[in-house]
Amino acid sequence: MTLTLTPLPGIPMVRPGDDLGAIVLHGLEAAGLQLADGDVLVLAQKIVSKAEGRLVALNSVTPSARALELAARSEKDARVVELILQESREVLRVRPGTIIVEHRLGFVCASAGIDHSNVAGEGQADEEWVLLLPQDPDQSAARLRQRLEAASGARLGVMIIDSHGRAWRIGVVGAAIGFSGLPGIVDMRGQADLFGYTLRITLIAAADELAAAASLVMGQAAEGTPVVHGRGFPYPLREGSLGELLRPKEQDMFR
């Protein structure tokens, strides 16, 4: 069983309104790849957000009283904190340099996933811009999957990933924030291990495992390879969504 991950070359700087389907198809052609049943395309969140126009100029943001209070505690720009509040269900932790929230999409992350790096918008050169996560990453993945399946005739999966920290380890890893056509969780309960023991609690976060692997190929800085083609994903494709991966609040021991 072999998993092959190929970064697509020549992906341009994506701008609001760009056709991601056409960009991905061009990248596949440049890589000499033809889509086949079972292939998965993994996209960095940033290019999806840019194409969907999720850029915000900070000079257009007016901080609320709550944002000003949290900005003082976190030592962050109050305008960014205001956007964090708008993108969140609940603020969980505040420390100098850090705000941990439950994002409106349901997962826990730092700063509601709002990004400063590699972000530029239209307008004055001295304006500061930030990038929000896609409005609905599952739907974004589903639209792109529909486009790519129509173009190729193949049964595909599409996933959007971002870099997330973890409560019990240092550093970030690639994690799925939206997907279509592949499983989020693979339930191994009831199956036997090598010694005949029946598995009772094993749930595999298959989408996150693939996200982490693809993130290794994408890189985290100036690599410019935000789309990865995957072949050999070891589980059958099926309909899936981010909700499979979200731990219910009553089971979250870190809150």
Nearest of 47, 51, 57 to residue 121 by alpha carbon:
57
Q: Write down the pLDDT at residue 124.
A: 52
Please report where in the chains the tokens 């996150």 appear, as a residue: 208
Give the separation between CA 160 and CA 43, rounded to whole angstroms: 5
- pTM value is 0.91
Residue 181, burial from CB neighbour count under 10 angstroms (0-12, 13-18, 19+)? buried
Q: How many CA atoms lie less than 13 Å away from 99 in the CB half-sphere?
A: 29
Q: Write down the pLDDT at residue 159.
A: 98
Give the separation between CA 11 and CA 30, rounded to whole angstroms: 10
Which domains are assigned to the chain? 4-48+135-245 (3.30.1330.100), 55-131 (3.90.1660.10)
CA angle 81, 83, 86 (to 5 degrees): 115
Sign of CA dihedral 161, 162, 166, 172: positive
Three-state DSSP class for residue 14: coil
Tokens (6 digits) for 31: 């890589």
Q: Supply the Cα-derived Rg of the chain in whole angstroms.
A: 19
Please report where in the chains the tokens 């239209």 appear, as a residue: 122
The separation between the first and the last C-alpha atoms of the chain, rounded to the nearest angstrom, is 39
pLDDT digits (tens, 9 = 90+) for 238-247: 999 999 999 9
Nearest of 180, 175, 199 to residue 247 by alpha carbon:
175
Asked if 207 contacts 151 with a C-beta cutoff of 8 angstroms, the reply is no
Which residues does the chain have with pLDDT short of 50?
222
Q: Write down the pLDDT at residue 254.
A: 79
Please report where in the chains the tokens 């693939």 appear, as a residue: 210
Element (H, E) at 16: none
Nearest of 210, 224, 221, 212 to residue 182 by alpha carbon:
210
Give the separation between CA 226 and CA 224, rounded to whole angstroms: 6
